Structure 1
């Protein structure tokens, strides 16, 4: 049996196991172990051991539990409630003001945790009830919360970009800086869509009434602005030492955790319950990611050992004779298709290692390509039938938010994401300008 057939059999077995509902790390690890033992006998077990050792030596991975812990401390200590109250008061009088405030809240949350899950949990528990109470359209509510929460995997400190750095062997700092411009661009485009849509149809997002605006004292309005300074303080405390070279990436993440805990303590919201819940959830998510990455590295080692990665590169570049940009477009289209059935982590560990090598062989900047991949992950989060955020929204939302409503609500926001993806592909400097300026790449 030739290596192409073996690689195809590995992929088909993996996809089949995932479609049966198996856990991602279990499916990947099982296929990797069976393939290694079949091809190389008992010696093939060393591949998994080597993968674990490689993972243990990659110190930037220590940032993962730090950022997850930050997000849960902020959520459990209700710091996000203060932010949402600020946006409600200041943006409520505008058309779609509360929806715009929800997007801005998600931008600030993203700058402090790096995961879509935390943003979705905060949006569904804090923003959704308020939007429902103010008679916002269900499609608008669902779409805004899901799209806004997806920003957490693009705006630093993004956990997905940390994992991509491991796969692509690129500096996390460059990837983080490259994600800022596209992340803010996407948020602005979300806000532009909301503004135009609600201006054309004000019934979708009723404004705050004049009576309610008058009932809020001016002093309280300005007092609420201080809530917006907290995320800036946490983000600056973490990023300034890192960018200036005063602290390593891991040390900066610890500073971020310390700043978040300090803010929660000053606000008198750092209880034992908050600490226990944040710690348990951090342990759960960290262990899950570690198992997935270990299984993925083992799978990748077998795949590389077959030479399948080089065969795929030769197929696109030599056999088909396609131009580099045509190959890039096909790669992104395949990611978008896979995103309908796999989550971002599965795509990262199954397909990204092959495509990263292909992008490098074609001469594309891997930092830029990492941003393209991450935006594709965002789209995968929202793409039916198996988008991760779709089911999370269904689990957290009231019963009137049915699955058809949730599916329909994300379509315009997915189109905005696709437009952002096209803009970054056509104008790479949107992603590359900041790392080139700050770090001199």
Structure 2
């Protein structure tokens, strides 16, 4: 059988399995194993072992459980609630102020937990009921929570960028620093949109009545101090890393430890909080490791088939497309896949195929990592 046809069958079978509701790592891993055995017989079984060894030797992978644990400690100990109360009081007097505060909350949640799912859960449980109770438009509220939670995969520490760094073999630190400004720009654009829209249509986001937002200044400052605690945790983690005083793994350990100590000092680190945080960390970390393992195996088979070179030749030589046109087609494909896949699933599916192609087209892989994430 022609190798190009095998590559097409691999990708088509994987997409079909995902559309039928199969688990991401199961679909990718199954297709990779079956293709390897078909092509190389029993020798193809070595691909899984080599991918596992490559995964276990990747030192920055230790950051994954650290950041997930940090985020869940801050979430389960209700420290994130303090953030929302701070924005509620300080921003509630503006039209659309609570929606603006929700975007600010999402930015800070993203800085504490690099998962968009975690931001979505916090926004849906804390901000969504309050916004609806205050008479905010349902469509705007849904858009605010959705858009704000998407910042979790761009603002460091982004777990998705860690996975991209693993697959694309790029430095995680550079990817994080490259994602800061675009993430803040997107948050600013969301806020500007809310301000303009609520000024034109005040009924979409009414301001809080004076009796609810009037509070003694000492109480406001107390709320501000409680809300700035997560910022202090983020600074303790990222500032030494930016100045080269700590490595990536050391910074993640500092973040996890400071989050734990903050919960202890606020007397919120109960047995239940600790148990839930550890269980969630173990579950999500194992899930990501299985996904990465399957993606590495899939990418190894694709490389062995020479599929990337064949696709490059198809677009550039046979169709005569310019590199920028190919890049636009890649971005458009995310719209289709985003209808039934989340960000992590899309990354592990397309990265083994797109990343080598992007490199062959002459684009910087760190730049493309941020572009993909956006």
What TM-score do the two structures reach when normalised by structure 2? 0.98
Query: Which ranges in structure 2 are unaligned for 5 or more consecutive residues?
Result: none
Q: Which residue in 2 is equivalent to 1:270?
A: 269
Which digits, 9 at most, give the CA deviation of each residue in 1:331-365, with x for residues without a partner? 11122222223222222122122211121112111
Cα offset, 1:227, TM superposition: 2.2
What TM-score do the two structures reach when normalised by structure 1? 0.83
Q: Which residue in 1 is equivalent to 2:121?
A: 121
Which digits, 9 at most, give the CA deviation of each residue in 1:175-214, with x for residues without a partner? 0000000000000011111111111111111111112223
State whether structure 2 residue 307 is matched by structure 1 residue 327.
no
Cα offset, 1:104, TM superposition: 0.1
Q: Which residue in 1 is equivalent to 2:344?
A: 345
Query: Which ranges in structure 1 are unaligned for 5 or more consecutive residues?
Result: 376-441
Which digits, 9 at most, give the CA deviation of each residue in 1:318-341, with x for residues without a partner? 222222211211111122222223
Moved more, 11-20 or 102-111: 11-20
Q: Distance in 1 between matches of 2:37 and 2:322?
A: 38
Moved more, 147-156 or 241-250: 241-250
Q: Which residue in 2 is equivalent to 1:137?
A: 137
Tell me how many residue pairs correspond in the alignment: 374
Aligned positions of 1:360-399 closer than 5 A: 360-375=359-374
Q: Which residue in 1 is equivalent to 2:162?
A: 162
State whether structure 2 residue 291 is matched by structure 1 residue 286.
no
Tell me, yes or no, if the aligned pair for 2:298 and 2:352 is still in contact at 8 Å: no
Cα offset, 1:232, TM superposition: 1.8
Q: Which residue in 2 is equivalent to 1:96?
A: 96
Moved more, 44-53 or 242-251: 242-251
Q: Distance in 1 between matches of 2:362 and 2:308?
A: 16
Cα offset, 1:222, TM superposition: 1.4
Aligned positions of 1:174-185 closer than 5 A: 174-185=174-185
Cα offset, 1:276, TM superposition: 0.3
Cα offset, 1:133, TM superposition: 1.6
Aligned positions of 1:194-273 closer than 5 A: 194-214=194-214, 216-273=215-272
Q: Distance in 2 between matches of 1:212 and 1:14?
A: 54
- Secondary structure of 2:268's counterpart equals coil
Q: Which residue in 2 is equivalent to 1:38?
A: 38
Q: Which residue in 1 is equivalent to 2:151?
A: 151
Tell me, yes or no, if the aligned pair for 2:135 and 2:205 is still in contact at 8 Å: yes
Q: Distance in 1 between matches of 2:298 and 2:36?
A: 9
Q: Distance in 1 between matches of 2:248 and 2:82?
A: 29
Q: Which residue in 1 is equivalent to 2:6?
A: 6
Cα offset, 1:54, TM superposition: 0.3
Q: Distance in 1 between matches of 2:353 and 2:202?
A: 47
Tell me, yes or no, if the aligned pair for 2:237 and 2:255 is still in contact at 8 Å: yes
- Secondary structure of 2:94's counterpart equals coil
Cα offset, 1:264, TM superposition: 1.0
Q: Which residue in 2 is equivalent to 1:315?
A: 314
State whether structure 2 residue 303 is matched by structure 1 residue 304.
yes
Task: Kindly report the root-mean-square deviation, in angstroms, between the aligned alpha carbons of the 2 structures.
Answer: 1.1
Q: Distance in 2 between matches of 1:335 and 1:137?
A: 29
Tell me, yes or no, if the aligned pair for 2:14 and 2:31 is still in contact at 8 Å: yes
Q: Which residue in 1 is equivalent to 2:173?
A: 173
Q: Distance in 2 between matches of 1:208 and 1:344?
A: 35
Which digits, 9 at most, give the CA deviation of each residue in 1:2-38, with x for residues without a partner? 1110001111111111111111111111111111111
Cα offset, 1:305, TM superposition: 0.6
Aligned positions of 1:8-87 closer than 5 A: 8-87=8-87
- Secondary structure of 1:155's counterpart equals coil
- Secondary structure of 1:198's counterpart equals helix
Q: Distance in 2 between matches of 1:218 and 1:248?
A: 41
Q: Distance in 1 between matches of 2:148 and 2:25?
A: 28
Q: Distance in 1 between matches of 2:116 and 2:213?
A: 32
Q: Which residue in 2 is equivalent to 1:413?
A: none
- Secondary structure of 1:351's counterpart equals helix
